[in-house]
Structure 1
Amino acid sequence: MAETEPYAPRTVAPSGLPLLIAEAFDRGRVTGLRHAVAAYAEASGLAGQRLEDFVLAVNELITNAVRHGGGQGWLRLWREDHTVRCEVSDSGGGIAASQLGDRDRPPPNTTGGRGLWLARQLSDDMVVNTDATGTTIQISTAVGDPTG
């Protein structure tokens, strides 16, 4: 990432809620950022399989931002009521409508194309905003048992 042109988030962080993480990232920060997300999500009340699923979903989003979204991105993580939320933004060329509309599991013989599908499967909710100037994806997972 260029020092003279810092990456700026595409959206405004939620007002009034303390952010646990608000960080620009590139390829060199993916692993460290994944560990930070895991630690903060666990401290926010996620545990067990829900924690593992959430961290994997976030990892898919940040990896996609690096691979397909211009090589860098911006991550924000916060807790809102009984929900942990993560937003990942990039400045890539956007996601094709055909990819967004396809909710089916990618065939096993295809290379790639599983990141968005996995993130959707592993989180309670996913909202995607995308256009030719970039993409912002927000995922959320309820803290505790969502059925109880």
Structure 2
Amino acid sequence: MPRPTRRTVVPIDTTLLIAEAFDQAQVTELRHSVTSCAHAVGLRGQRLDDFVLAVNELLTNAVRHGGGRGWLRLWRQPGRLVCEVADHGRGISSRRLDDRSRPAPDTAGGWGLWLARELSDAMDVETGPAGTTVRIGMPLAPALDAGERAPD
């Protein structure tokens, strides 16, 4: 009688909230999904608005400058919400990445990365000729005790 084959079981990562490819047609729907998930894990008020605006800027950049499409992953870590947007564009120049100054008010473009950096707690960028991956994070409020209400 043959021996049963051993299988490796990899647990599903329950902290992954969204993993989705997108193009221009999905940006609005994906932004709404990010808003719902971020709210569900505890982001509220201005922190929620800031995080969603930062994600929207990354989505828009991926469509405009990253080949017309991208990939979004949103997950929860202990005490933190993280969003990663990747594209297959030509990358971002080191001069552009190193420039942390606020764009001039009358500038039509160039606000996306600056806003994402300003509105999130942390931002990491990996870029090259095969594409760009931007990861932003926002701290979550500590879990509430039973009976407490989250601030709005």
The TM-score bracket by the shorter chain reads 0.7 to 0.9
Match of 2:40 in 1: 43
Identity value in percent: 60
How many residue pairs match? The answer is 131
Which digits, 9 at most, give the CA deviation of each residue in 1:19-48, with x for residues without a partner? Answer: 100000000000000000000000011011
Following TM superposition, by how much is the alpha carbon of 1:125 offset from its aligned partner in structure 2, in angstroms? 0.1
| TM-score, normalised via structure 2 length | 0.83
Aligned counterpart for 2:99 among listed residues 85, 102, 112: 102
| Alignment RMSD | 1.3
Could you tell me whether the CA contact under 8 Å between 1:22 and 1:75 is conserved in 2? yes
Following TM superposition, by how much is the alpha carbon of 1:83 offset from its aligned partner in structure 2, in angstroms? 0.3
Does 2:110 correspond to 1:75?
A: no
Match of 1:139 in 2: 136
Match of 1:92 in 2: 89
Following TM superposition, by how much is the alpha carbon of 1:109 offset from its aligned partner in structure 2, in angstroms? 1.9
Aligned residue identity for 1:104? S
Q: Distance in 1 between matches of 2:96 and 2:75?
A: 27
5+ long unaligned stretches in structure 1: 1-14
Aligned residue identity for 2:70? G
Could you tell me whether the CA contact under 8 Å between 1:17 and 1:80 is conserved in 2? no
Could you tell me whether the CA contact under 8 Å between 2:84 and 2:136 is conserved in 1? yes
Q: Distance in 2 between matches of 1:143 and 1:24?
A: 25
Match of 1:59 in 2: 56
Which digits, 9 at most, give the CA deviation of each residue in 1:63-90, with x for residues without a partner? Answer: 0000000000000001100100000000
Q: Distance in 2 between matches of 1:38 and 1:144?
A: 16
Following TM superposition, by how much is the alpha carbon of 1:110 offset from its aligned partner in structure 2, in angstroms? 1.6
Following TM superposition, by how much is the alpha carbon of 1:108 offset from its aligned partner in structure 2, in angstroms? 1.1
Aligned residue identity for 1:129? E
Q: Distance in 2 between matches of 1:108 and 1:102?
A: 16
Following TM superposition, by how much is the alpha carbon of 1:102 offset from its aligned partner in structure 2, in angstroms? 0.4
Could you tell me whether the CA contact under 8 Å between 1:128 and 1:138 is conserved in 2? yes
Aligned counterpart for 1:22 among listed residues 19, 24, 33: 19
Larger radius of gyration: 2
Q: Distance in 2 between matches of 1:18 and 1:28?
A: 26
Q: Distance in 2 between matches of 1:31 and 1:138?
A: 19
Report the 3-state secondary structure (helix = DSSP H, G, I; strand = E; otherwise coil) of the residue aligned with 2:90.
coil
Following TM superposition, by how much is the alpha carbon of 1:18 offset from its aligned partner in structure 2, in angstroms? 2.8
Q: Distance in 1 between matches of 2:90 and 2:141?
A: 36
Q: Distance in 1 between matches of 2:28 and 2:115?
A: 18
5+ long unaligned stretches in structure 2: 1-11, 143-152
